[in-house]
Amino acid sequence: MARLIQLTILFIQFYYYYYITTTAHGLSSNGTTFLLDSSRSAMILPLFLSPPNPCTKFSSTRRLLQRSNGNNALPNARMRLHDDLLINGYYTTRLWIGTPPQRFALIVDTGSSVTYVPCSSCEQCGRHQDPKFQPDLSSTYQSVKCNIDCNCDDEKQQCVYERQYAEMSTSSGVLGEDIISFGNLSALAPQRAVFGCENMETGDLYSQHADGIMGLGRGDLSIVDHLVDKGVINDSFSLCYGGMGIGGGAMVLGGISPPSNMVFSQSDPVRSPYYNIDLKEIHVAGKPLPLNPTVFDGKHGTILDSGTTYAYLPEAAFVSFKDAIMKELHSLKPIRGPDPNYNDICFSGAGSDISQLSSSFPAVEMVFGNGQKLLLSPENYLFRHSKVHGAYCLGIFQNGKDPTTLLGGIVVRNTLVLYDRENSKIGFWKTNCSELWERLHVDGAPPPAPSSSNGNNSNTEMPPSMAPGDQKHYGLPDEKKIGKITFEMMLNVNYSDLKLHISELAESIAQELGINISQVYILNSMEKGNASYIEWAVVPSGSADCISNVTALSIIARVAEYHMHLPDTFGSYHLINWEIKASAKRTWWQQHFLLVVLASAVTFIFGLLAFGIWFIWRHRQRALNPYKPVDAVVTEQELQPL
């Protein structure tokens, strides 16, 4: 009997805990309206999560029960970031969906709660980086059938989603489920997950180069929530954006060990559906702004949004911040901004060396409620002027009349941001994001990306089924040296337009592949209907007689896996074929040509020098012993004994 009473008490405790925790989680996933200043199109933040579409079939009410297991050994998905803030206005990562995998470049957005890609059935989708997702070509795709827990289409057949963003762009479509892969750097195996198959997009979503959005926010459709609910990762993720002159970066889905000197701020999931921090003060040049701390707590508080380019402060905070910055700029000259449509605050005379900006611009600190401070270097509140060399503009603006403080990607350049959702806090650690893995000393982490002359990250990402070491997959020769790699592809652009920019194509290809422009040759181009056919080749650099297998693999994989991002001028590309040609065996003369030429040049120079010395010596000798005629009077010389 006593045993039965104990079991009954345990059951009541379990039920009470389950009810409380699931109710608390429900508060954090409600959709809200978030009105922001939409004057800058680079902002990507949910404006309406309407109609409310929690689709609780994928409920995350199990998460708090799973947290108690203390399992810190779960794998994570380590993924590279591409693009940058100034040119693109966003950062993207790569996801592969379906079987076989179809690749997509998605904007990482902590302000969105759904991941979606253009669907093959979409007639109102723009032309993006990669082909649309084709459900019919995936053997593992399943549509999410209409049920009482989701919004359904007019035919009551499928679940649907709809999103609207601050700059008034929209996305809508149906929900599907398929295998999602995270790339060859990931220790996390491919997982089944729900995503949006887009059937309509408007505004910036229609015109952007990226394919879609990777929703990292809180919500039942969030890819983070979905992976946590399945118990395959810890309830955490991290983002690390590259610096002003670098771009790219890294991200981690799942937990990592925070560095010892990481700065933390509390993040209350009940305060807002977005990721917020407890900001209390801003210091400029060591002096606090004369503001009431409650100015940063208006409406949704202080929000971190990775999909927003710049930072936006409430009116009082912006005016105070701007005035404090301008008081510290003694040697710089105010100039007009790069875009006449905006009243940007810009200054010239700082020089082009980003590492020296701190000598011209003051340091800024954000002070959190726990007293910890996050130091912001000039690259965390400035953007480079696109028309004046050595000029910079404030990347922090007034958020209209909205009292919300919005911190976009510019604030966290070269900063590892740890979204520790399990412990309701967000950590910040200043670091070089291009060397993140090395600096974190993560076991099994990939090595830092090698730097190139143009700052682009040339490392290759592939789905797990295409590991970098699988050279035979790409037909690389095991013994022969690689002398040339030729590619045939179709460009989704009219040939008459291509001809106007054909000279720029080789430069764009070289930049994307991280090689020298002298290594890329355009061999042939012609018109193919409304598209263009092009054949081009990569040859060894400089005096090298071959391309290394590692370099060849990186080049081929980058092109074959559609990681090469050509400018919009050339449209998207479709690879037809590539061919590897072994380097021809060179004759003795070809192998030693440069050596012979060099030796001949040296011999000629030394010979010329010797002749010059002899000529000068001979001339001087004639000057010392001038010629005398036969009848000339000479001084009688003393005879010497024989």
Q: Which residues are catalytic?
A: 109, 305
Integer Cα distance of 331 and 323 in angstroms? 16
How far is residue 82 CA from its own chain's centroid? 2
Integer Cα distance of 142 and 144 in angstroms? 6
Contacts of 108 by beta carbon, 8 Å cutoff, 6+ apart: 81, 90, 91, 92, 93, 214, 216, 239, 251, 306, 307
* Paired residues of 105 in beta bridges: 94
CA-wise closest residue to 175 among 148, 150, 206, 209 = 150
CA-wise closest residue to 464 among 203, 234, 188, 170 = 188
SS3 call for 324: helix
Is the distance from CB of 360 to CB of 351 less than 8 angstroms? Answer: yes
CA-wise closest residue to 318 among 338, 343, 336 = 343
Q: What share of the chain is helix, strand, coil (3-state, %, to 5)?
A: 25, 30, 45
518 CB-side CA count, 13 A: 5
Integer Cα distance of 597 and 605 in angstroms? 12
Burial class (CB in 10 A: 0-12, 13-18, 19+), 177: middle
Integer Cα distance of 133 and 110 in angstroms? 23
Q: Name residue, tokens 């930072």.
A: 311
CA-wise closest residue to 547 among 486, 635, 492 = 486
Contacts of 598 by beta carbon, 8 Å cutoff, 6+ apart: none
CA-wise closest residue to 91 among 233, 251, 227, 207 = 251
Structure-derived torsion over alpha carbons of residues 202, 206, 207, 208, reported in degrees to the nearest 10:
120
